[in-house]
Amino acid sequence: MTRPDDPHSAPAQLAPPEPGQLPVVRLRPKAEARAIRHGFPWVYADELVTDRRTQALAPGALAVLEDADRRPLGLVTVNTASRIIARMLDRDPGAVIDKGWFAARIARAQDHRTRLYDAPFYRLIHAEADGLPGVVIDRFGDAAVIQPNAAWAEAHLDLLAEALADVTGVTVILKNGSGRSRGLEGLPEESALLLGALEAPVPVPMNGAVYMADLLGGQKTGLFYDQRPNHAFAASLARGGRVLDVFSHVGGFALACLAGGATSALAIDGSAPALALADAGAKAAGMDAAFATRQGDAFAVLEDLGQEGARFDLVICDPPAFAPAKPALEAGLRAYERIARLAAPLVAPGGYIVLCSCSHAADLTAFRNACARGIGRGGRRGQLIHTGQAGPDHPVLPQLAESGYLKALFFRLDG
């Protein structure tokens, strides 16, 4: 479905192998086959026998995975250039990855979302947890954005897009090929319009607010659906109060809090285009009189607000991933602590602070400890009243901790 004259066209698609002709890859004797049998979806590079035949496989090629005793474990996709060298696609080693296979996975995911939400604005596919490893699809009414973050998804993108259109009825499909995950798979950063036409940001109704999602040039897919339940909880705390939303993106917490009865909201972000979309969302919902923005580095703005003596009844900090991988963990935790230290003094007596992390490498305990240290270093004490996570359109695969990445800590601070 990629336009043939599009300069960002996807690479040539892999031809499906003939039945019974799939290559075989095998776990090393010391690899943990039990974890694979019990649902763990990845094989790391040091767990797989990488002989010449395996090394010769094209990135994203399909293969049958066997344990060290040559017993089949399922159908996988292989990328020898990635640390995650194999990803489980189907427990049936004879499964055929065609449009019908994609359609079945998408239909199952859609059935879950339509039970949750009245309108088609949600994360439709959450990678491994929805049976499509490395694939993210967000739906925006009649439009959908695909993030093919693994080589196999890039290779099968046309089939995936066709099945997506057939099952959901969307008339616009975009590919967003940006982000760290694609680099780890050896994939280039590139985006493309796969179906239909789109010229303007899409208005997204959520939690009583309106968000303007830039599907063509915004961050990730254009909007972060994962914070939906945390936006709602924050809004319940914001009634009648002043709100500061740091790392606000297109209005995030700020617009939800205004919809929930906050008297004012100040949104801070480093991106002028994101704040312009936040302004547009506030105007679309008739809340622009109570909404203000301030562009700048979040750390610097927090310091400035402290020197100005500013106080808010609710302060939210939802930064990008400071610890996206284990090598960045120590520095990331220091950054989270610093954010809490700078933000805590801005909270009025008896007010609330919300601190969020989307870092895979920082688990809940480490993140909570960093936030508590930061609040203490900011001269405040408080009680943890709620711990939030991503919404149910971001299901967690129990065997894969990385699929449950989002953490939102709600503290009530003392006087």
DSSP β-ladder status, 84-90 and 407-413: unpaired
- Token pair of 106, please? 């998408």
Categorize the per-residue pLDDT at 20 as very low, low, confident or very high, splitting at 50, 70 and 90: low
φ/ψ bin of 236: left (φ > 0), alpha (ψ from -120 to 50), beta (otherwise): alpha
Residues 53-68: tens digit of each pLDDT: 999 999 999 999 999 9
Identify the structural domains of the chain with CATH numbers, from first to last: 24-90 (2.30.130.10), 99-195 (3.30.750.80), 212-413 (3.40.50.150)
Q: Say which residue, 6 or 308, is predicted with more confidence.
A: 308
**Identity of residue 92:** D
What is the pTM assigned to this prediction?
0.92
**pLDDT of 187-198, one tens digit each?**
999 999 999 999
pLDDT at res. 144: 98
- Residue pair 287/255 in contact by the 8 Å Cβ criterion: yes
Q: Which of the residues are catalytic?
A: 358
Q: What is the 3-state secondary structure (H, E, C) of 197-213?
A: CCCCCEEEEECCEEEEE
Q: Locate 213 and state its tokens.
A: 């999602």
